[in-house]
């Protein structure tokens, strides 16, 4: 809980700085790169969480891995290392992207399906989500085979569950009540 509050504070500060420097889009690309890299690289994530690896080594690793990023991004890494908060780097990156999208009026629609969405279906979901929210929408597809079929659409705090697994659970509940 405290880590997420700290991540929000760092993300807001970074967004404010990037806004002043007119580099919000560049920093957003950096934050997406950091979040994706940390999500994909178990070794790098574990290295950042490890109490055995010194802060200076963590800093040099990160600055080498993300050497082609904006100066604000490098300064964020240095600040997090200095304040012993490097373990929340991924959270800060995710919060920054979320704040960036909100400031630009972009809503993220998450569609969970059993298989990857086709390009045509993705366009249809995008159009429907845009119609429902009245905002610019980005569609993020999450693949979860446990839903068996159908989809789960989540836009902000609203969720529509049209998955086969959900329908089977409803049937199961109906049969156990009778």
Mean pLDDT over all residues of the chain? 88
2 has a pLDDT exceeding 60: no
The span from the CA of 68 to the CA of 74, in Å, is 9
CATH 1.10.3720.10 fits 2-102, yes or no: no
CA 135 to chain CA centroid, Å, is 19
Domains 2-102 and 106-177 share a fold: no
| b (16+ CB within 10 A) / e for 119-142 | eeeeeebbeebbeeeebebebebe
Q: Which CATH architecture has domain 106-177?
A: 3-Layer(aba) Sandwich (3.40)
Q: How confident is the model at residue 71 (pLDDT cuts 50, 70, 90)?
A: very high
Domain boundaries, the chain: 2-102, 106-177
Q: What is the pLDDT of residues 123-177, one digit of tens each?
A: 888 888 888 777 888 888 888 888 888 888 888 778 888 888 888 888 888 888 7
**Helical spans, DSSP H, in the chain:** 2-21, 24-40, 42-49, 55-65, 71-82, 89-103, 119-133, 164-177
Q: How confident is the model at residue 1 (pLDDT cuts 50, 70, 90)?
A: very low
């Amino acid at each position: 809980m405290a880590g997420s509050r700290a991540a929000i504070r760092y993300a807001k500060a970074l967004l404010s700085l990037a806004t002043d420097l007119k580099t919000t889009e560049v920093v957003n690309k950096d934050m997406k790169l950091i979040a994706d890299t940390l999500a994909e690289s178990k070794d790098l994530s574990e290295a950042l969480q490890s109490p055995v690896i010194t802060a200076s080594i963590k800093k040099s690793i990160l600055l080498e891995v993300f050497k082609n990023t904006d100066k604000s991004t490098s300064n964020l890494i240095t600040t997090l290392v200095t304040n012993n908060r490097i373990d929340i780097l991924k959270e800060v990156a995710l919060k920054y992207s979320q704040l960036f999208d909100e400031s630009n009026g972009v809503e993220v629609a998450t569609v969970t399906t059993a298989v990857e969405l086709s390009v045509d279906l993705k366009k249809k979901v995008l159009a429907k989500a845009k119609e429902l929210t009245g905002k610019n929408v980005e569609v993020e597809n999450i693949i979860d085979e446990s839903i068996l079929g159908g989809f789960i659409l989540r836009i902000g705090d609203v969720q529509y569950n049209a998955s086969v697994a959900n329908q089977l659970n409803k049937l199961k509940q109906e049969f156990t009540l009778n």
